[in-house]
A and B are shown apart, each in its own frame.
Chain A
Amino acid sequence: MMIDAIIRTDALGKRYGATWALRDCTLEVPEGSVTALVGPNGAGKTTLLQLATGLIKPTSGRVEVFGEAPRSSADVLPRVGFVAQDHPLHRGFTVAEMLHFGVRLNPTWDADSAAARIARLDIPLDRKVGKLSGGQQAQVALTLALAKRPELLLLDEPVASLDPLARREFMNTVMEAVTETQMTVVLSSHILADLERVCDHLVILSHARTLLAASIDDALATHRLLTGPRTDPATVARVHDVIHESHTERQSSLLVRANGHVYDAQWEIHEVDLETIVLAYLGYRGVSYAAPPIGEAVAR
């Protein structure tokens, strides 16, 4: 497992002035995984991705990509495809010039596949990038990142500014690329629904902190919703991590990360879906369960 981590961070932190944009972040992104980086705006997603590309340098802790510090090693960048938030492009360039830009700056450039992808998307080569629709601009940015033939693809809020149809098309392009190449992907979003179809790992960030970093299978297996008569959750909290609690006059419901079996006749135990888990971590009210009680639940 240690060897296979493409990104590894250790107590990674980034501070701007007095504000920590990311703090004490320790996680690993396994090779070949597709990781969703989820959190509200300002949670530290962009900071984490920019630290991984070497665009910014850590204030504390360490980040390694392919076992090297991305900021100081020149060997990391050629292996990383990155689409920054709002997919910046040179708006005065034509699409053809934008592709030529890629040729000039990347030794591993795959000109044929880039041209083929642009043609498949019906994007006119002689059009100025600034004149393209938002969805087309995002696709051009993604094409540039993919044409590097990266081993690691980092996408920062790739679909946030897109309409639903463009979102779907963009994610389709990502999924095709992932199945073709087995590259490792990290994509961020403040909405899980954008990413749920493609990802197999999940990192939840909020207020500069990492709340959860796990495979989706693990996350689903370890999180349970407990409902029962109104009680103080302290007894449960001694064994399991209570992520979210809500109480009505007569009933309490707790979303917990179970450490081993949850065994308590007092509680009805429900499986939860991924969205519920994310919402619970991000502290939204009204967490509800997705499935009928399964009695005795298991973890891990």
Chain B
Amino acid sequence: MTWVAWRQQRTETLIAVVIVVLIAALLVPTGLEMASTYRDDGLAACVAQTPSPACGGALDSFISRFNGLGDLLAWLTLLPGLIGAMLAAPFVLAFEHGTYRLDWTQSITRRRWITGKLGLAVGAAVVFALIDIAMVTWWRTPLVHLNGRMENSTFDGEGVVAVGYTLFALGLALAIGVVWRRAVPAIVGAFAGYFALRLFVDTWLRQRLTPPATITWHASGRQPAVLNHAWVISMGPGSKPGQLGAAPTALCGPAAKPCTPHLPAFLNAVYEPASRFWSMQFTEFALFAGMAIVLIAFAAWWTSARTS
């Protein structure tokens, strides 16, 4: 069954390889350039110690040169959805084309057919996700030294979450595909679902899965170092320690009194510290991988029990 499953999945695998190679063709030269600039301008020293005046200029020019490219690569967060959904196609096409009637009337059991095909799709999804993570992580290394890896656009591409994302897209496309029996709607539907869920998790759920910390400091003082590589969800004036206060403008009422600009005494920040990177990665990975398991199990059950 392994050979058969591989042969039936060959086209999709090759397309995924081509996509990965194209992305690598973009990442490898720019990544090498960025790494050598980072090294040659001595930025590692700047980041590690109190910046010298010369450092400021070097950092600014580095950031203005490469941050745009980094933002562009945030689009790579769609890649797991694309590859995951696409890898579901061979399974769904067996029903769209009716070839399951050929496969299921050979000598192997339906269970073995399902396990072989789904196992290979899951394996390929994991491998492509790991390649994606490795490429992006390698490329971003200098930027991570500067900015950390907690911000949404970076958090998505590093660690292990992309494995969960890819499996989720695969599972969703399989679940839609076995019911609908059409590959293209399954892929499109899964990609749309993937996009919607990712948006929801990035903007709303992630900071609720791991409740953020709050820090307050004197407005006249320096910003706490703990915020440097953290994901700062919000920052603003605080009227008293530990609370986000109302903005100063709110103090200028309609009473036409002279509006005194109140400089806040304190500043508050709500943030996820960089130390939570791996625990948040595993939480989110578990969420997506868990949904993927449910969806893939559903697809297997539907195929085995309901296709008749």
User: Could you tell me the distance between the alpha carbons of A216 and B107 in the complex, rounded to whole angstroms?
Assistant: 32
**Which residues on the B side are within 8 Å of A86 (C-beta)?**
98
B164 → chain A, closest Cβ, in Å? Answer: 31
User: Could you tell me the distance between the alpha carbons of A78 and B1 in the complex, rounded to whole angstroms?
Assistant: 15
User: Could you tell me the distance between the alpha carbons of A99 and B237 in the complex, rounded to whole angstroms?
Assistant: 74
Contact of A104 among B4, B97, B99, B102 (CB under 8 A): B4
User: Could you tell me the distance between the alpha carbons of A104 and B1 in the complex, rounded to whole angstroms?
Assistant: 6
Contact of B105 among A80, A89, A92, A108 (CB under 8 A): A80
Q: Cβ of A168 < 8 Å from any Cβ of B? A: no
Q: Cβ of A101 < 8 Å from any Cβ of B? A: yes
Which of B8, B11, B104 has the most CB atoms of chain A within a 10 A radius of its CB? B104
User: Could you tell me the distance between the alpha carbons of A252 and B308 in the complex, rounded to whole angstroms?
Assistant: 46
A77 near B101 with CB under 8 A, answer no
**Which residues on the B side are within 8 Å of A119 (C-beta)?**
none
**Which residues on the A side are within 8 Å of B7 (C-beta)?**
90, 93, 97, 101
B107 near A77 with CB under 8 A, answer yes
* Contact flags A68-99 to B (C-beta < 8 A → 1, else 0): 00000010011010101010111111000100
User: Could you tell me the distance between the alpha carbons of A89 and B102 in the complex, rounded to whole angstroms?
Assistant: 7
Using CB atoms, name the residue of chain A closest to B2: A104
Q: Cβ of B52 < 8 Å from any Cβ of A? A: no
Using CB atoms, name the residue of chain B closest to A148: B107
Q: Cβ of A26 < 8 Å from any Cβ of B? A: no
CB within 8 Å of A: which B1-51 residues: 1, 3-4, 7-8, 11
Which of A56, A57, A84, A89 has the most CB atoms of chain B within a 10 A radius of its CB? A84
Using CB atoms, name the residue of chain B closest to A154: B105
**Which residues on the A side are within 8 Å of B99 (C-beta)?**
88-90
**Which residues on the B side are within 8 Å of A53 (C-beta)?**
105
**Which residues on the A side are within 8 Å of B308 (C-beta)?**
55-57
**Which residues on the A side are within 8 Å of B103 (C-beta)?**
105
User: Could you tell me the distance between the alpha carbons of A106 and B106 in the complex, rounded to whole angstroms?
Assistant: 6
User: Could you tell me the distance between the alpha carbons of A82 and B104 in the complex, rounded to whole angstroms?
Assistant: 10
Q: Cβ of B109 < 8 Å from any Cβ of A? A: yes
- The majority secondary structure among interface residues of chain B is loop
Q: Cβ of A247 < 8 Å from any Cβ of B? A: no
User: Could you tell me the distance between the alpha carbons of A105 and B5 in the complex, rounded to whole angstroms?
Assistant: 11
Using CB atoms, name the residue of chain A closest to B99: A88
Contact of A102 among B8, B101, B106 (CB under 8 A): B106
User: Could you tell me the distance between the alpha carbons of A141 and B103 in the complex, rounded to whole angstroms?
Assistant: 12
A92 near B11 with CB under 8 A, answer yes
Are A84 and B106 CB-contacts (below 8 A) given A57-B308, A104-B3, A105-B1?
A: no
Q: Cβ of B256 < 8 Å from any Cβ of A? A: no
Contact of B102 among A77, A84, A100 (CB under 8 A): A84
A88 near B107 with CB under 8 A, answer no
B106 near A105 with CB under 8 A, answer yes
Q: Cβ of B54 < 8 Å from any Cβ of A? A: no
Contact of A78 among B3, B97, B101, B107 (CB under 8 A): B107
CB within 8 Å of A: which B96-118 residues: 97-99, 101-109
B97 near A88 with CB under 8 A, answer yes
Q: Cβ of A292 < 8 Å from any Cβ of B? A: no
Between-chain CB contacts (< 8 Å), 19 pairs = A55-B101, A77-B107, A77-B109, A84-B105, A86-B98, A88-B97, A89-B102, A90-B8, A90-B99, A92-B11, A93-B7, A100-B3, A104-B1, A104-B4, A105-B1, A105-B103, A105-B106, A108-B107, A148-B107
B residues adjacent to A (C-beta < 8 A): 1, 3-4, 7-8, 11, 97-99, 101-109, 308
Give me 13 other A-B pairs in contact (C-beta within 8 A), A77-B106, A90-B8 excluded. A50-B101, A53-B105, A74-B109, A88-B97, A88-B101, A88-B102, A89-B102, A91-B97, A93-B7, A100-B3, A102-B106, A104-B3, A107-B107
**Nearest 7 CB-CB pairings of A with B:** A105-B106, A78-B107, A82-B105, A56-B308, A84-B101, A106-B107, A88-B98
